[in-house]
């Protein structure tokens, strides 16, 4: 059996996608709408007030038909993420939001990157990666992915050294874009339908496009990567969203 690579886990991640049911929203009277907007502002303030020692939160507007909102949470306690899901569901606005997609995972650091370090030393050295603060970047891209298990292109039958060399080359491409794109890798084996989640943050969506395109030519992606749906979103404030809902023609 090929030797698995050990990982070090950090904060948990919840990508909570929501979509507005406009027909149900329009059925609310003026008083109900105002109550819904007030509740939403209060809840978003609660999410934003999470202690930086235990988590971080970001609100995004999603491009296209797949969703309207992304509520992105990182937190040390997985139960806290479930509480946040329920908190949205129990608001009046939550009753007019559907949930087209969600993804639960945990921030993961391969010990490839922590060679020679004890786990304690690695946690100290890579704390910023294991406990990510959502960066102040305008755009966020999320997608899940698997490593392929087909014939000769079976990632899990390769030796540890072969996989390490492929990921080293993969990382070289990523490093070219490290000033333009910040990435957070989360593991989800046994937690969700895919094996990893990738979240990219940038002020320029073209930088995200170029990074992903160039990586497609790398052997680790070209031979071994299968990708799920891509979601691109722009960071907003709760006020941006409530203003959108309050428009007369909304």
pTM score above 0.85: yes
Look at the block and give the residue holding tokens 């946690």: 123
Q: Considering the candidates 12, 60, 103, 143, report the single residue annotated as catalytic.
A: 143
> Active site includes 143?
yes
3-class state of residue 105 by DSSP: strand
Average pLDDT, the chain: 92
Q: What is the pLDDT of residues 113-164, one digit of tens each?
A: 767 677 788 788 889 899 999 999 999 999 999 999 988 899 889 888 888 8
Number of helices and strands in the chain (H, E): 9, 11
Kindly tell me if the per-residue pLDDT of 231 is higher than 70: yes
Q: Which domains does the chain possess?
A: 7-246 (3.30.70.1030)
Cα distances from 16 to residues 57, 103, 112, in angstroms, run 11, 7, 30
Torsion, Cα 191 197 201 204, to 10 degrees, reads -140
Q: What is the pLDDT of residues 19-51, one digit of tens each?
A: 999 999 999 999 999 999 999 999 999 999 999
Q: What letter would DSSP give residue 136?
A: S
């Amino acid at each position: 059996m090929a030797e698995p690579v050990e990982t070090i886990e950090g904060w948990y991640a919840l990508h909570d996608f929501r979509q507005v049911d406009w027909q149900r929203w329009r059925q609310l009277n003026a008083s109900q709408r105002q109550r819904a907007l007030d509740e939403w502002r209060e809840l978003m303030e609660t999410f934003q007030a999470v202690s930086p020692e235990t988590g971080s939160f970001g609100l995004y507007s999603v491009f296209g038909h797949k969703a309207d909102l992304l509520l992105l949470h990182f937190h040390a306690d997985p139960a806290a993420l479930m509480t946040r899901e329920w908190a949205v569901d129990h608001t009046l606005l939550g009753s007019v939001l559907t949930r087209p997609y969600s993804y639960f995972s945990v921030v993961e650091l391969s010990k490839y990157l922590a060679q020679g370090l004890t786990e304690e030393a690695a946690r100290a050295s890579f704390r910023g990666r294991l406990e990510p603060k959502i960066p102040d970047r305008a755009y966020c891209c999320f997608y899940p992915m698997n490593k392929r298990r087909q014939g000769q292109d079976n990632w899990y039958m390769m030796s540890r050294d072969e996989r390490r060399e492929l990921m080293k080359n993969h990382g070289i491409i990523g490093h070219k874009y490290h000033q333009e794109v910040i990435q957070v890798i989360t593991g989800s084996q046994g937690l969700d339908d895919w094996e990893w989640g990738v979240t990219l943050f940038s002020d320029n969506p073209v930088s995200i496009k170029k990074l992903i395109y160039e990586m497609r030519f790398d052997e680790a992606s070209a031979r071994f990567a299968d990708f799920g749906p891509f979601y691109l979103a722009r960071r907003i404030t709760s006020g941006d969203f409530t203003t959108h809902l309050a428009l007369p023609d909304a």
